[in-house]
Structure 1
Amino acid sequence: MTKTSTRLARDRRGTAMIETALLLPLFLMLLLGILIYGQYFLLAHSVQQAANDGARAAITGLDAADRRAVAIRAIDRSMHGVGGYRRELRSVLVSENAQAVTVDLAYHVPEGNLLRSTLVPTPGDIIRATATFELPAE
């Protein structure tokens, strides 16, 4: 080994910069993944809670059409606080039998939302939730 190569091999001044260049992208991807999945879980919880609220409210309706209207109003009230919520992005199915009312809610994640980024794989652009409540005995 020459004197210059020995000196360069012992020089540690650039190691921090190289380590940062190697690890910073991984750290940023991890941080972005935490943010995206945190937002996903928050939105999924909000959609489930809205479906619960819709089903709970629907049991007060007089007939199937009234139950659907009441459920949709309750869902919209519940989702109103969710950032970027728009009514046209949700679809609601209210079904019932003699014992219970079931509300199925599907919410399409809006364009421009962090969940739509392609940097980190996400569970999907549609979040679905179902809630069932028993009808009061007559």
Structure 2
Amino acid sequence: MTAFPVLPRPARRPSPPGPTLLREERGAAIVEMALVLPLLLMLLTGMLVYGQYFMLAHSVQQAANDGARAAIVGLDAADRSAVATRAVARSLQSVSGSHSVAVSETNEAITVAVAFTAPPDSFLRSALVPSPTNVIRSRATFELPVD
């Protein structure tokens, strides 16, 4: 049986004279985290804010499209406006917030405009990052068939 030779420990170098605080590395991770953590939190909050904004903007645009598409079946302008308003409300029922619908009509087209206001507890009203407006407006136009 062979034994491994035991090597002597290398001698420690003497520390250079001067303040030891500049050479100390034990608190470096805490300082780095204190510098990086606020930026990371702002980045993550920004992702949540703009993710919610894009989701709401897509939902409002889809609601305007649904309203314009549904309005085509109305018999007169009042009926088309009522049908479009119901279609928009049905499309936005799963999204919390308030909305208003405006239906305008010409001889060639019906335009449905939707304005959606985000609720006060929404991420869009976060003060940590600059956020887009809390009122999202969208419109859709459907051309009427020419007689």
Between the aligned partners of 1:11 and 1:70, the Cα distance in structure 2 is 72
SS in 2 for 1:10: coil
Per-residue deviation, residues 69-93 of structure 1 (Å, max 9, x unmatched): 10011101111122x24xxx21111
Instruction: Please list the CA deviations of residues 3-46 of structure 1 after superposition, one character each: whole Å capped at 9, or x if unmatched.
Output: 451x3222211111000001100110011001100000000000
- Tell me how far apart the structure 1 counterparts of residues 82 and 135 of structure 2 sit (CA, whole Å): 22
Give the structure 1 partner of residue 24 of structure 2. 11
Instruction: Please point out which of 119, 126, 133 is paired with 2:135.
Output: 126
2:112 is the counterpart of 1:103: yes
**Please, which of 53, 69, 74 is the counterpart of residue 61 of structure 1?**
74
Choose the corresponding residue for 1:31, options 31, 36, 44: 44
- Please tell me whether residue 91 in structure 1 is matched to residue 104 in structure 2: no
More helix by share: 1
Distance of 2:120 and 2:21 partners within structure 1: 51
SS of alignment partner, residue 35 of structure 1: helix
Aligned residues: 132
SS in 2 for 1:74: helix
Q: Percent identity between the aligned chains?
A: 60
Name the SS of the counterpart of 1:94 in structure 2. Answer: strand
Give structure 1 regions of 4+ aligned residues with deviation exceeding 3 angstroms. Answer: none
2:45 is aligned with 1:45: no
TM-score of the two chains, using structure 1 as the length reference: 0.90
Question: Residue 70 in 1 paired to residue 83 in 2?
Answer: yes
Q: CA RMSD in A?
A: 1.3
* CA positional deviation for 1:137: 3.1
**5+ unaligned residues in a row in structure 2: which ranges?**
1-15
Structure of higher CA gyration radius? 2
Name the CA distance, whole Å, in 2 between partners of 1:48 and 1:108. Answer: 13
Cα separation, 1, equivalents of 2:49 and 2:93:
21
